[in-house]
Structure 1
Amino acid sequence: MANSRSAKKRIKINKRNNIQNNTYKSLIKYYEKVHLNLINEYENSGDLIVGQSPSDSVKKKLLASLALVVSRIDKAVKKKIFHKNTAIRKKNNLFKKTFKTS
């Protein structure tokens, strides 16, 4: 238990920031799932075939979705919600899944 007034205040601030950070992290997870579901949807429909270039409409939707996720991850790093290496790992995995060639 905190003894000083400033320590009690820091506990309240940490709880508040923890709630805000968790909501932002869950939003990023949601956008990642949406992007991965979009990739799976196009792979299953035959619009996205490995080794062939996708159609323009599919490419635009995938790139827009990827840009949204990457933007949110970068903002989380700027707000110090994610560590920069965590963000790099997340973005790298998304790029691999989006632009697979083999």
Structure 2
Amino acid sequence: MANSKSALKRIRTSERNRLRNKSYKSAVRTLMKKYLQAVEEYAASPTPENKAVVDQRMSAAYSKIDKAVKRSVLHRNNGARKKARLAKALQQVASAS
């Protein structure tokens, strides 16, 4: 147990930040999975409707990644790497068809 007021405050702050970071990271992972699933569906049947879904999911994932980077939940290189992997997944589907 902490011995000083500042240590107690630091514990509370760390817990709050941990929960916020966990929430952002979880949301990023969820949106990435949804996007990759949409890309697979688009690869199976490349229709304009599926392309629109892919674009919408990509936008949502990029937005959440950028917000996580802005709030220092993710390092900027980590965010850039995640976005590059998402773009690469779509690029591979586009080049295959």
**Deviates further, 70-79 or 17-26:** 17-26
| RMSD (Å) for aligned C-alpha atoms | 1.4
Distance across 1 between alignment mates of 2:8 and 2:74: 25
Distance across 1 between alignment mates of 2:52 and 2:39: 12
Number of matched residues? 94
Q: Partner letter of residue 59 of structure 2?
A: A
Q: Does 1:8 align with 2:26?
A: no
Gaps of 5+ in 1: 49-54
Q: Partner letter of residue 23 of structure 1?
A: S
Q: Percent identity?
A: 36
Aligned partner of residue 99 in structure 1, secondary structure:
helix
Answer 1 or 2: which has greater helix percent: 2
**What are the Cα deviations for residues 31-59 of structure 1, in whole angstroms up to 9, with x where unaligned?**
11111111112223xx23xxxxxx43222
Gaps of 5+ in 2: none
Q: Please report the TM-score for the alignment, with normalisation by the length of structure 1.
A: 0.83
Q: Please report the TM-score for the alignment, with normalisation by the length of structure 2.
A: 0.87
